[in-house]
């Protein structure tokens, strides 16, 4: 597995930070060459399923995920926790998103462990570094607006 952690502080209250990072369709605008399709009816919650389809030229893959834990912040200043299980053949693993109050804003923590099918474990460091870069940028964009 290729574990990585990204943390960001924001002036947003926890409820708004949570809304921005768990509106799955918004991730399409933040992850290069990727479209997100939610396959379950709104609102997001436990059991929500969605697929990230990444394509560059004629090469691509799907990364289906399902929400297995969903604890949104209670009120404006509560903490929230979400866990996604990756259920595909190409990319496996999980991701967790935590939003907690911090000062007058909040702190968002994104933890992920992933494995890419047929990619040698020798490249786990490269995979984790790429994940930190791509999802760090995605988190920055999601929290910015």
- Model pLDDT, residue 1: 62
- Model pLDDT, residue 105: 96
Q: What are phi and psi of 118, to 5 degrees?
A: 70, 0
pLDDT along the chain (145 residues), means of 10: 89 96 94 93 95 92 96 91 95 95 97 82 74 89 92
> What long-range pairs does 15-20 form, CB within 8 A, spacing at least 24?
15/72, 15/73, 15/75, 15/76, 15/78, 17/99, 17/105, 17/106, 17/108, 17/143, 18/72, 18/73, 18/80, 18/99, 20/142, 20/143
The hierarchical CATH code for the domain 2-144 is 3.30.530.20
- Model pLDDT, residue 143: 97
- Model pLDDT, residue 133: 87
- Model pLDDT, residue 127: 73
Domain ranges for the chain: 2-144
Q: How far is CA 40 from the centre of its chain?
A: 17
pTM summary value:
0.90
- Model pLDDT, residue 67: 98
């Amino acid at each position: 597995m290729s574990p990585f952690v990204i943390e960001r502080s924001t002036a947003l209250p926890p409820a708004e930070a949570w809304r921005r990072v768990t509106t799955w369709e918004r991730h399409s605008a933040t992850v290069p060459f990727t479209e997100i399709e939610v396959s379950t009816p709104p609102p997001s919650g436990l059991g929500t399923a969605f697929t990230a389809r990444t394509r560059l030229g004629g090469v691509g893959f799907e990364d289906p995920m399902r929400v297995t834990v969903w604890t949104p912040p209670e009120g404006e200043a509560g903490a929230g926790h979400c866990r996604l299980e990756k259920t595909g053949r190409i990319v496996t693993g999980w991701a967790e998103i935590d939003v907690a109050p911090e000062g007058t804003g909040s702190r968002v923590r994104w933890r992920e462990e992933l494995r890419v099918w047929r990619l040698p474990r020798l490249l786990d460091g490269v995979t984790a570094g790429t994940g930190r870069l791509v999802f760090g940028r995605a988190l920055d964009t999601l929290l910015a607006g």
